[in-house]
Amino acid sequence: MKISGNTVLITGGGSGIGRGLAEAFHRFNNRVIIAGRREGVLQAVASANAGMEYLLFDQDAPASTEELATKVRTRFPNLNVLVNNAGIQKVEDLTSGDMADAEAMINTNLLGLCG
């Protein structure tokens, strides 16, 4: 993979590993688009990195996945790198028998990618 001159979309790019990757790609002269749920966070990251752009995206909502795909195809036709980083992690009490947190993680982190 060439290290510069790419158009890169990073889901979950507003914080943590996603933000770190976005800023690293940006430093190497790539066009970077970050996507996530928290507009204020995305806007702050994009503002701190001139030329970086953001799109709202909620991996839990299938309609949001379709909307993101449409926007990306329209606005960024040269996209050639996708980092599917969005996800959630919850602290689970494995002794409780309550599967709600585990199901939420599976739905978001695995099934959410299927849109």
Q: Which residue has the tokens 């990306």?
A: 72
Domain 7-114: top CATH class: alpha beta
pLDDT digits (tens, 9 = 90+) for 44-64: 999 999 999 999 998 777 788
What confidence score (pLDDT) does residue 98 get?
76
Q: Is the dihedral of CA 26, 29, 30, 31 positive or negative?
A: positive
> Contact at 8 Å (CB) between 9 and 82?
yes
pLDDT at 113 over 60: no
Quote the pTM value.
0.82
How far is residue 106's CA from residue 55's CA, in Å, rounded to a whole number?
A: 23
- Which pLDDT does position 97 carry in this prediction? 72
pLDDT of residue 115 exceeding 60, the answer is no
- Residue 28 pLDDT exceeds 80: yes
Q: For the purposes of burial, counting CB atoms within 10 Å of the CB of 22, is it exposed (0-12), middle (13-18) or buried (19 or more)?
A: buried
The predicted model gives 12-27 an average pLDDT of 96
pLDDT tens digits along 63-101 = 888 899 999 999 999 999 999 887 657 677 777 777 777
Residue 105: is its pLDDT beyond 80? no
Q: 3-class SS at 105?
A: helix
The per-residue b/e assignment along 40-56, b for 16 or more CB within 10 angstroms, e otherwise, is ebbeebbeebeebebbe
